[in-house]
Amino acid sequence: MTRSRRRQRLFRLFAMLFAIVVSLVLCEGLVRVYVWARGWTPNCYAADLDLYQPHATRGSDLKPGFRLRSGVFRQSVNALGLRGPEITREKPTGVTRIAILGGSSVFGYFVNDGEEAAQVLETNLNSKSSGVEVLNAGVPGYNLFQTHDRFRERISPLEPDIVILYLGWNDLPYICSKTPVQFRTRSLAPAYERLLGRSTLYGLVTRRLLGAPVTFAPSDARNAAPTDVGLNQFRENLAALAESVHAEGAKLVVCSQCLAAKPDASQGLRQLLSSDPEVVEHLVSLGLLLQETLARFSQEQDAVFIDAYNELAADETTLKDYVHLTVVGEQRLAELWERHLNELIAAP
């Protein structure tokens, strides 16, 4: 091959690469103009890549200042890393702060700002007597390992007066593991993917067109039985978190989760758990185990126990899937909390 021919091929290759880059840049610009014109944020298609940031001990945490605006969702994280409106770090005089700890079912994954149970509870309580702030301390995917670590670092400095635990489902993978300590951290998307996630075009292609799934919790427990070491770790994690709550002078409230994994759940929700009836029954047994363990723990701690597992119906009106609430479900959970908290808030 002559030198001139090699140059021609190199020129064509560079021209092709240049054309591809220019095309991608133009497509990115067009997509961004489109979402801007609709009032959406650039992360509207791949918000799950933008919601988290790395954390030294927990693996990941919510990114302060996160905003999502799309055709379906309006979600935001304040400067303190909590979902909801901005609040002061120092608790105002005369204000009662209620912190709700848990995973995506506390965060309110499928509802807009103001519709999650934490904010509904705050609105309901303040409609009767002002001076209550409810802190949504939920982080999607968090289990008790990460929840306790986050409470000590981020929530306890906010001086909560009451702490509600609404959790359990995300702990099942390590409850059913012989090595529960491996679940101490929450995984984070690789750095390259989070970098690509800043592209609206990338989000459109991978999340909307190709339909890459969003994982809410590991599925390790679907076909595994609880282990002694896993159950002991769950109890130890609960006790350690309760100790930290009491050390801050706060009152502890434990609430079982509304789950599709219960005997009287609607058939539609049971099918969301699995198409295999044996797997469904196994998950139902795990749901019962969580409820019983939390009820027993509450009694041991002399803590208020709210049994959302049994008091809220598990049907399509209340649940969007196996654990995440609908708008109606968030309202019903908030009302359930309110009934139990009125006396607790009034107590000295």
80-185+211-346 CATH: 3.40.50.1110
Residues 241-262: tens digit of each pLDDT: 999 999 999 999 999 999 999 9
If you write DSSP's letter for every residue of 39-97 in order, what string do you get? T--TTSS-HHHHSEEEETTTEEEEPTT-EEE-SS-EEEB-TTS-BSS---SSPPTTPEE
Is residue 287 within a helix (H) or strand (E), and if so which, with residue range? helix 277-301
In degrees and rounded to multiples of 5, residue 136 shows phi and psi of: -85, 100
Residues 71-113: tens digit of each pLDDT: 889 999 999 999 999 999 999 999 999 999 999 999 998 999 9
Q: Given this model, what pLDDT does residue 129 score?
A: 78
Residues 144-159: tens digit of each pLDDT: 999 999 999 999 999 9
Q: Has residue 44 got a pLDDT over 80?
A: yes
End-to-end CA distance of the chain: 90
SS3 256: strand
Handedness of CA 22, 24, 27, 31 (dihedral sign): negative
In this prediction, residues 33-49 reach a mean pLDDT of 94
CA distances to 44, 193, 198, 203 from 24, in Å: 18, 17, 14, 13
In this prediction, residues 171-177 reach a mean pLDDT of 94
Question: Which sequence spans correspond to the domains of the chain?
Answer: 80-185+211-346
As a whole number of angstroms, the distance between CA 87 and CA 100 comes to 15
Q: Has residue 195 got a pLDDT over 50?
A: yes
Amino acid at 150: R
Q: Given this model, what pLDDT does residue 215 score?
A: 45
Instruction: Report CA 338 to chain centroid distance, whole Å.
Output: 22
pLDDT confidence band for 218 (50 / 70 / 90): very low
To the nearest whole number, what is the mean pLDDT of the chain? 92
Q: Has residue 143 got a pLDDT over 60?
A: yes
188-197 — which CB contacts under 8 Å span 24+ positions? Answer: 188/52, 188/54, 188/59, 188/60, 189/48, 189/49, 189/52, 193/49, 194/49, 194/50, 196/49, 197/43, 197/46, 197/49, 197/50
Residues 108-120: tens digit of each pLDDT: 989 999 999 999 9
As a whole number of angstroms, the distance between CA 34 and CA 52 comes to 25
